Amino acid sequence: MSNRHLFLMGGSPPFGEILGKKFAGLSTLSTSKVAVLFLEREGWINYMDKYTGPLRQYGVKDFTYLPLSFSPPASLFEELLSCSGIIIGGGETEKYRSYIVETALGESIRKMYWEGIPVAGFSAGALICPEHCIIPPVDTPKKQHLFLNGLGLISDHAICVHFTKWNEKENLIAAMKKTGSLIGYGIDDHAGIYFKNERPAFTEGSIYKKE
One digit per residue, the tens of pLDDT, for the chain of length 211 reads 689 999 999 999 999 999 999 999 999 988 899 999 999 988 899 999 999 999 999 999 899 999 999 999 999 999 999 999 999 999 999 999 999 999 999 999 999 999 999 999 999 999 999 999 999 999 999 999 999 999 999 999 999 999 999 999 999 999 999 999 999 999 999 999 999 999 999 999 999 999 9
Alpha-carbon span 142 to 9, nearest angstrom? 25
The terminus-to-terminus CA distance of the chain in angstroms comes to 29
Q: What is the CATH number of the domain that holds 185?
A: 3.40.50.880
Round to whole Å and give the CA distance between 46 and 9: 20
The pLDDT score that the predictor gives to residue 210 is: 96
Q: Number of folded domains in the chain?
A: 1
The sign of the torsion formed by the CA atoms of 131, 190, 90, 134 equals: positive
Distance CA(107)–CA(100), nearest Å, equals: 8
* pLDDT score, position 111: 97
Instruction: Find the domain containing 177 and state its range.
Output: 5-210
63 and 34 Cβ atoms separated by less than 8 Å: yes
Pure H helices in the chain: 17-27, 44-56, 74-81, 93-100, 104-114, 124-127, 169-179
Q: How many CB atoms lie within 10 A of CB 149?
A: 14
